[in-house]
């Protein structure tokens, strides 16, 4: 049987990238496709760094091609995280492909915990990740990631982020004390946030995660105005009071046209390690309900786990400390969903995505 490009395209037409609406073809994930006799060479550009997604997409492609008589499929794979359209030339952060703000209306719900573990999940999957601790009065990222020290100056004005477990991290915690460079001492929240964006050598990043202070005040406003945010993640707990605050956070982002990637319900339930029994300490499911009511995605539930808190205190976030634990697994799934949604936003924002099918050997 002689196969040509059209047969292959028809066979692969419906396949989607796991966890997204993106079809492999129209989203240009299939970058090139060559056929020779009954063998196919296919070049793929993965839009998220997660290998489990790559594997399942690869298997789906192989399966479909086998059905139409392809004997062997060869793959050439490359991870290429797409940049958001708004990360253009005029952006304060032109080298940063995606900027994720982690926010909540209420304090203490686990923003910093989610930020650190989300950043680490993306970095462990192989992405270039930065983490900006925008909580200038209560910075916690240095502690949570076990990083300390003083950032080196790249030039008179620019600081180089500290490497924290493979993440480029910047936090006010690194800048307190008398030897802090003068320009970093004077400004109030607005100025500091601005400097975090323009006077830090973030370099080329696939994802910059921003851990916000609680509420909808100055820091949040400044950020939504200055940084070309790609999307936000709203963290809540199942309690009603915290959900009301989460709704405020959602509205803030909606007003400034920052896509809300979804809601995370943290401290959602507790599993007794001895018995395996699950208890919904604060009630449960409120995050999902709120997301449904507001028509935004629900990203997942993270259980209460003393190891999460200990990991934060010890500078060893749960996704590293115990990646098999339910809390770590929940955050890993959230990270995949966030990456998938950002890829969708970036690729759909490109406008018409034409498939490059340059040549055919037959
Ligand atoms: N899933 C969890 N299980 C157990 N403890 C948790 C969990 N999530 C967060 N914590 C703990 O709850 C406390 C508050 O978390 P965290 O600092 O991440 O919240 P936050 O929203 O960033 O707070 P703030 O508003 O002060 O910035 C921390 O001690 C943290 O270790
Ligand atoms: Mg915090």
What pLDDT shows up at residue 111? 95
Residues 29, 132 within the same domain = no
> Is the confidence at residue 338, as pLDDT, over 90?
yes
**Which atom of ligand 1 lies at the shortest distance from residue 307's CA?**
4
Residues 339, 233 within the same domain = yes
Pocket-forming residues, ligand 1, beta carbon under 6 Å: 104, 107-113, 135, 138, 140, 213-214, 266-267, 302, 304-305, 308-309, 312, 327
Q: Say which range, 74-83, 116-125, 160-169, 208-217, has the weakest mean pLDDT.
A: 208-217
**Domain contains 362:** no
> Is the confidence at residue 101, as pLDDT, over 60?
yes
Residues 76, 219 within the same domain = no
**Domain contains 179:** yes
CATH number for the domain spanning 142: value is 3.40.50.300
Measuring from atom 5 of ligand 1, which residue has the nearest CA? 309
Report pLDDT digits (tens) over 141-160.
999 999 998 889 888 889 99
For the beta carbon of residue 138, count every other beta carbon within 10 angstroms.
Answer: 12
Query: What percentage of residues in the chain have a pLDDT greater than 70?
Result: 91
**Domain contains 243:** yes
Residue 81 DSSP class? P
Residues 219, 337 within the same domain = yes
Residues paired with 178 in a beta bridge: none
- d(CA 42, ligand 2 centre) in Å: 44
**Domain contains 92:** no
Report pLDDT digits (tens) over 185-203.
666 778 888 889 999 999 9
Find out whether 162 and 147 touch, Cβ atoms under 8 Å: yes
- How confident is the model over 44-69, as a mean pLDDT? 96
Residues 133, 267 within the same domain = yes
What pLDDT shows up at residue 355? 35
What pLDDT shows up at residue 362? 36
**Overall domain count for the chain:** 2
CATH number for the domain spanning 64: value is 3.30.300.130
Residue where the block lists tokens 């004005």:
157
Residues 129, 208 within the same domain = yes
Helix (H, G, I), strand (E, B), or coil: what is residue 102? strand
**Domain contains 29:** yes
pTM for this model (two decimals): 0.91
Backbone angles phi and psi of 29, in degrees to 5: -70, -40
Whole-number Å distance between alpha carbons of 193 and 132:
10
**Domain contains 332:** yes
Measuring from atom 26 of ligand 1, which residue has the nearest CA? 108
Backbone angles phi and psi of 162, in degrees to 5: -85, 140
Which domain does 294 fall in, by range?
99-345
> Is the confidence at residue 301, as pLDDT, over 90?
yes
């Amino acid at each position: 049987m002689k196969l040509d490009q059209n047969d292959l395209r028809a066979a692969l037409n419906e396949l989607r990238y796991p966890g997204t609406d993106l079809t492999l073809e129209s989203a240009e994930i299939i970058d090139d496709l060559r056929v020779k006799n009954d063998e196919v060479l296919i070049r793929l550009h993965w839009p998220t760094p997660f290998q489990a997604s790559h594997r399942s997409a690869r298997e789906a492609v192989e399966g479909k091609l086998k059905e139409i008589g392809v004997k062997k499929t060869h793959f050439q794979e490359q991870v290429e995280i797409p940049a958001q359209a708004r990360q253009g030339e005029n952006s304060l952060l032109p080298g940063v492909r995606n900027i994720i703000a982690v926010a909540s209306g209420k304090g203490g719900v686990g923003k910093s915990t989610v930020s650190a573990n989300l950043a680490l999940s993306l970095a462990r999957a192989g992405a270039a990740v930065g983490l900006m601790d925008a909580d200038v009065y209560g910075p916690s990222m240095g502690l949570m990631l076990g990083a300390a020290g003083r950032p080196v100056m790249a030039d008179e004005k620019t600081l180089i982020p500290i490497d924290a477990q493979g993440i480029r991290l910047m936090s006010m915690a690194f800048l307190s004390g008398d030897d802090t460079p003068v320009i970093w001492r004077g400004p109030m929240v607005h100025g500091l946030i601005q400097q975090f964006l323009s006077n830090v050598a973030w370099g080329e990043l696939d994802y910059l995660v921003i851990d916000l202070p609680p509420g909808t005040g100055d820091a949040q406003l400044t950020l939504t105005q200055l940084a070309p945010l790609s999307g936000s993640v709203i963290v809540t707990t199942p309690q009603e009071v915290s959900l009301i605050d989460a709704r405020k956070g959602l509205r803030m982002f909606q007003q400034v046209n920052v896509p809300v990637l979804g809601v995370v319900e943290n401290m959602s339930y507790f599993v007794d390690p001895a018995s395996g029994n699950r208890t919904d300490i604060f009630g449960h499911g409120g995050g999902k309900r709120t997301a449904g009511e507001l028509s935004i995605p629900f990203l997942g539930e993270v259980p209460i786990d003393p190891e999460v808190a200990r990991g934060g205190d010890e500078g060893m976030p749960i996704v590293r400390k115990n990646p098999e634990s339910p809390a770590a697994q929940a955050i890993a799934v959230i990270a995949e969903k966030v990456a998938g949604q950002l890829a969708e936003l970036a690729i759909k924002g490109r406008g018409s995505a034409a498939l490059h099918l340059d040549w055919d050997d037959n």
